[in-house]
């Protein structure tokens, strides 16, 4: 059996990490891996997370399994964080998952089980694992225009034109905020137009929200998801706590399935439980318990929100510094989009050849599609990156 296995394609980001690790240049800069880093290049454990973990160590009396859907307090806390009061709680089925990726996978499997003929529409570009999982599951999918490589903004007209060709029952995968990989986001007026199209065509939105709090703030970053969920008959939401709680390795995610018909919730919940049982049985609990501890304690929640806001403002400052430095060096305002994008990522909109030159000539590592991780920079490396971008002629 094992002799029949075929070599799988290398993950581009993991390969990039290996190249960075083996590069001896002391001035090298890693802007590839999608992990938040502080000015010292460390992915820190947040203060509130440490405090919640200490509390769990002192008070937790068992490591027995939780339910198939995870701890109900975690589901309730995350629903409150993301949806607030946009939808009545009895309209929402939810299940904890191993990270946001697990939530995406479970959502895709739910779609395949219930609507095997549906096409999943994904933005061009999108997080590569979206398409990888869809391909692995053998699901129908197609791309809609999203990023304009000339303006480095959203090609909204192209997006709407493409989605107008979708058929009733198709699924539209949307990024709730801080679009990965581009950093270019819809405004609320555009979101309303998307809602109108979803309802007109009978399309089902699936929202991947992995960066709430990294863009314009917790409430603002949740606004689009709340608008969509409160306005259409059904919505799937895949949520991640990896970034905004910094619990990457704890694999803490949640899948929500929302129906405006309360009578659908019990059966939907049973199906989410069943999917968990088939794939991994009981979801991991430690990260989920940490998150629910923080969100249900006023002091811990306030401290978490303060640290998250500092993180967000720090990334905005790096964006503004980089845009300003590029304007100074190039004498052009063509890089102003970097200050307008939100979240950890921006896409330069250049060629793989230019990205390779940045690596070979300047030791700057980013994904070949020109996605760069803003959080991989600090105040000292921003001028280095800006000079390299101008030197290679981007």
Whole-prediction pTM: 0.96
Active site residue 210: yes
Closest to 343 measured CA to CA, from 194, 158, 209, 154: 209
What is the pLDDT averaged over residues 284-294? Answer: 98
Q: 248: exposed, middle or buried (C-beta count within 10 Å: 0-12, 13-18, 19+)?
A: middle
Active site residue 208: yes
Find the catalytic residue in 148, 155, 162, 208. Answer: 208
Give the start-to-end residue ranges of the domains of the chain.
11-44+308-392, 65-296
Q: What is the pLDDT of residues 344-353, one digit of tens each?
A: 999 999 999 9
Q: Where are the alpha helices (DSSP H) in the chain?
A: 12-22, 47-59, 72-83, 99-114, 128-136, 156-163, 188-201, 218-231, 265-279, 286-295, 298-330, 337-340, 352-362, 382-392
pLDDT at 9 over 90: no
11-44+308-392 folds as 3.90.1150
pLDDT at 39 over 90: no
Q: What is the CATH number of domain 65-296?
A: 3.40.640.10
Question: Which pLDDT belongs to residue 34?
Answer: 86
Are 176 and 148 in contact by the 8 Å Cβ rule? The answer is no
Find the catalytic residue in 86, 93, 210, 386. Answer: 210
Find the catalytic residue in 170, 224, 243, 288. Answer: 243
Band (175; pLDDT cuts 50, 70, 90): very high
What is the pLDDT averaged over residues 14-19? Answer: 87
Question: Which pLDDT belongs to residue 10?
Answer: 78
Residues in the chain: 394
217/215 Cα distance (integer angstroms)? 6
Q: What is the pLDDT of residues 93-140, one digit of tens each?
A: 999 999 999 999 999 999 999 999 999 999 999 999 999 999 999 999
88 phi and psi, to 5 degrees?
-65, 140
Q: What percent of the chain has pLDDT over 70?
A: 100
Active site residue 243: yes
Question: Which pLDDT belongs to residue 13?
Answer: 80
Active site residue 127: yes
Find the catalytic residue in 121, 127, 191, 304. Answer: 127
Q: What percent of the chain has pLDDT over 90?
A: 95
What is the pLDDT averaged over residues 75-85? Answer: 98
92/275 Cα distance (integer angstroms)? 16
Question: Which pLDDT belongs to residue 235?
Answer: 98
295/354 Cα distance (integer angstroms)? 44
pLDDT at 203 over 90: yes
Question: Which pLDDT belongs to residue 249?
Answer: 97
165/25 Cα distance (integer angstroms)? 50
pLDDT at 311 over 90: yes
Q: Which range (29-38, 153-162, 207-216) has the least confidence?
A: 29-38
187/155 Cα distance (integer angstroms)? 12
Mean pLDDT over the full length of the chain: 96
Question: Which pLDDT belongs to residue 130?
Answer: 98
240/243 Cα distance (integer angstroms)? 7
Band (280; pLDDT cuts 50, 70, 90): very high
pLDDT at 251 over 90: yes
């Amino acid at each position: 059996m094992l002799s029949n296995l075929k070599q799988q394609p290398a993950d581009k980001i993991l390969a990039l990490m290996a190249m960075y690790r083996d590069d001896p240049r002391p001035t090298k800069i890693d802007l590839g891996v999608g992990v938040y880093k502080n000015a010292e290049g460390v992915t820190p454990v947040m203060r509130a997370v440490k405090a919640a973990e200490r509390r769990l160590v002192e008070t937790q009396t068992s490591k027995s399994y939780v339910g198939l859907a995870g701890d109900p307090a975690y589901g309730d806390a995350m629903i409150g964080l993301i949806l607030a009061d946009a939808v009545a709680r009895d309209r929402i089925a939810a299940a904890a998952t191993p990270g946001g990726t697990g939530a995406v996978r479970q959502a895709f499997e739910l779609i395949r089980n219930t609507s095997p003929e549906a096409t999943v529409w994904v933005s061009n570009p999108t997080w590569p694992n979206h398409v990888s999982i869809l391909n692995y599951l053998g699901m129908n999918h197609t791309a809609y225009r999203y990023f304009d490589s000339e303006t480095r903004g959203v090609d909204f007209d192209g997006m709407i034109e493409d989605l107008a060709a979708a058929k009733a029952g198709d699924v539209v995968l949307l990024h709730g905020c801080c679009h990965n990989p581009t950093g270019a986001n819809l405004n609320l007026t555009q979101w309303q137009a998307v809602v109108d199209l979803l309802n007109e065509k009978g399309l089902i939105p699936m929202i991947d929200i992995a960066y709430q709090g990294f863009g314009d703030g917790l409430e603002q970053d949740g606004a689009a998801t709340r608008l969509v969920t409160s306005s259409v008959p059904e919505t799937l939401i895949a949520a991640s706590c990896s970034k905004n709680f910094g619990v990457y390795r704890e694999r803490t995610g949640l899948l929500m399935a929302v129906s405006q018909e309360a009578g659908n919730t019990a059966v939907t919940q049973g199906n989410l439980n069943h999917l968990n049982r088939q794939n991994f049985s009981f979801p991991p609990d430690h990260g989920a318990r940490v998150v629910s501890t923080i969100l249900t304690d006023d002091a811990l929640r306030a401290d978490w929100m303060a640290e998250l806001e500092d993180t967000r403002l720090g990334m905005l400052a790096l964006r503004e510094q980089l845009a300003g430095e590029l304007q100074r060096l190039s004498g052009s305002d063509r890089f102003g989009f970097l200050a307008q994008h939100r979240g950890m990522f921006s896409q330069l909109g250049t060629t793989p050849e230019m990205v390779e030159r940045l690596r070979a000539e300047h030791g700057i590592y980013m994904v070949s599609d020109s996605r760069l991780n803003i959080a991989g920079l600090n105040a000292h490396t921003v001028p280095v990156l800006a000079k390299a971008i101008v030197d290679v002629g981007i």
